[in-house]
Chains A and B, each alone.
Chain A
């Protein structure tokens, strides 16, 4: 297995500090703007990303079994998150008692493509072994990922690197529920102003023919909230009922 270095978008880094604001636990928010494999092709939907941590400024790399190569490095999250050529917004919570007190986080795109050219399915909740040619191509091993954030909170990192991780249910609560504040028609367009948005979340307007089944997205690309309020601009004929919601991680 090999690594590809990726970059964090500025919005994701900014979101980290907001996510930390009122959480006893540690929240790490990350996303990417668009990624490619080392061969230059766009990352496929379902490809795996890894959220890694190192006490130093450099993460030591992963083995083909997805284990850190350097003692003390940790992998907090490994999941097939890729969607639309990028890693979508992920809010990840680490229980305070397990959170590192210092160090740096890194996000890696994993190339798990097998002989069929598709990203690996999960085996034992990790990527399966990839074909030998890719698995031995470890030229990027030890490449430095991009720093996601550095901070100090929580207690000592567990030595075996397998501490309990908390998914961000409380983080979702902190994000809050978006709300349509105004709705107007301008020619063939519908302008929907939404408030109570969070910078770490991407939103879309969903439509449907019944209020209880509003599932169709109206925008090809979801919108990140650069402020608390955003006005969406839609084709008027896209639906009868409209609702704002978070663009799902998985379709």
Chain B
């Protein structure tokens, strides 16, 4: 038994607030509403699986609420090695309950095999997945989608960048995102280190507009990230690569010689 405080009757008033604060939930849940008009969205993974253990990668089936998605919508995620982009298609099951149908991804002896189910594939905070929606708008207004899950406890989270076999002619793609519920700047101090000349980052706005940033070791304004408003304008050096809350980005590696790192610090945690 825990140490028991001995109090006289008259001292109990002071003890009451202590009692009141003790029974608190062991986990915190987050709900992020993403107001997107885009048919194709790079979706962040800001939350964890609901678990007594902290910071467990969340199942693909649990990242995006399905109720306001359309049967036929698709989510995609890279596998653990970054080699395969798996896809799951939203289907309607018994009683109209929607579920992510497993992809057909293995051919054995000429027979297609069901791939891993969406509840068995996971993504960790710092990663991103892709979402394709048939109905991203309604009456001209965006149809939001919802990300919800358990709030992670790690204040520092990394995004994995794959670059095995990457070269200028064979780039390797990674899906990255801030593990946060707010907009984030990829170029904030200490976040992205070690980019290689020619690497690029592709963001996608909530309106579905892509923007490409390219790292140049010898750019017109020195080493750094460059972008232009349109192809007819020479790219200029930028100090902001903003990734909107609930969304992610492609990191495109063009060299396998050195692996860049992305480390997010001070992100929401309980």
- Interface residues, chain A, CB within 8 Å of chain B? 23-25, 75-81, 91, 93, 95, 122, 124-126, 162, 164-170, 172-173, 175-187, 190, 192, 194, 198, 201, 203, 210-212, 214, 236, 239-246, 248-250
Query: Is B28 touching A166 in the complex (CB atoms < 8 A)?
Result: no
Least Cβ–Cβ distance between B44 and chain A, in angstroms: 14
Q: Does B229 contact A (CB under 8 A)?
A: no
- Contact flags B1-44 to A (C-beta < 8 A → 1, else 0): 11111111111110111111111111111111000000000000
**Further pairs besides A25-B4, A180-B28, A246-B24: 15, Cβ < 8 Å:** A80-B13, A124-B10, A125-B13, A164-B6, A178-B24, A178-B26, A183-B149, A190-B31, A242-B28, A243-B25, A243-B27, A243-B29, A244-B24, A250-B17, A250-B20
Chain A residue at minimum C-beta to C-beta distance from B20 = A248
With A169-B4, A170-B2, A240-B32 as contacts: A246 and B9 at CB distance below 8 Å? no
Query: Is B67 touching A185 in the complex (CB atoms < 8 A)?
Result: yes
CA distance A201 to B21 in the complex (A): 12
Query: Is A242 touching B16 in the complex (CB atoms < 8 A)?
Result: no
Q: 8 tightest CB-CB pairs across the interface, nearest first?
A: A125-B10, A246-B23, A244-B25, A248-B20, A167-B15, A245-B24, A242-B29, A211-B270
Main secondary structure of the interface of B (DSSP, over half): mixed
Query: Is B50 touching A245 in the complex (CB atoms < 8 A)?
Result: no
Chain A residue at minimum C-beta to C-beta distance from B4 = A166
Q: Does B151 contact A (CB under 8 A)?
A: yes
A80: chain B residues within 8 A (beta carbon):
13
Query: Is A167 touching B17 in the complex (CB atoms < 8 A)?
Result: no
A169: chain B residues within 8 A (beta carbon):
2-5, 18-19
CA distance A239 to B31 in the complex (A): 8
- Contact flags B251-270 to A (C-beta < 8 A → 1, else 0): 00000000000000000111
With A93-B4, A243-B24, A245-B24 as contacts: A182 and B17 at CB distance below 8 Å? no
Q: Does B148 contact A (CB under 8 A)?
A: yes
A242: chain B residues within 8 A (beta carbon):
28-31
Query: Is B146 touching A185 in the complex (CB atoms < 8 A)?
Result: yes
CA distance A76 to B15 in the complex (A): 14
A177: chain B residues within 8 A (beta carbon):
23-26
Task: For A180, give its contact among B9, B67, B150 (CB under 8 Å).
Answer: B150
Query: Is B2 touching A173 in the complex (CB atoms < 8 A)?
Result: yes
- Contact flags B156-191 to A (C-beta < 8 A → 1, else 0): 000000000000000000000000010000000000
Query: Is A179 touching B149 in the complex (CB atoms < 8 A)?
Result: no
Chain A residue at minimum C-beta to C-beta distance from B268 = A211
Most buried by B among A93, A172, A184, A203: A172
Query: Is A240 touching B31 in the complex (CB atoms < 8 A)?
Result: yes
Least Cβ–Cβ distance between B260 and chain A, in angstroms: 29
A211: chain B residues within 8 A (beta carbon):
28, 30, 151, 268-270
Query: Is B25 touching A245 in the complex (CB atoms < 8 A)?
Result: yes
CA distance A180 to B9 in the complex (A): 36
Instruction: Give 10 pairs: A residue, B residue, CB < 8 Å, sorted on A.
Output: A81-B16, A125-B13, A169-B18, A176-B23, A177-B24, A180-B27, A180-B50, A183-B31, A240-B181, A246-B24
B32: chain A residues within 8 A (beta carbon):
240
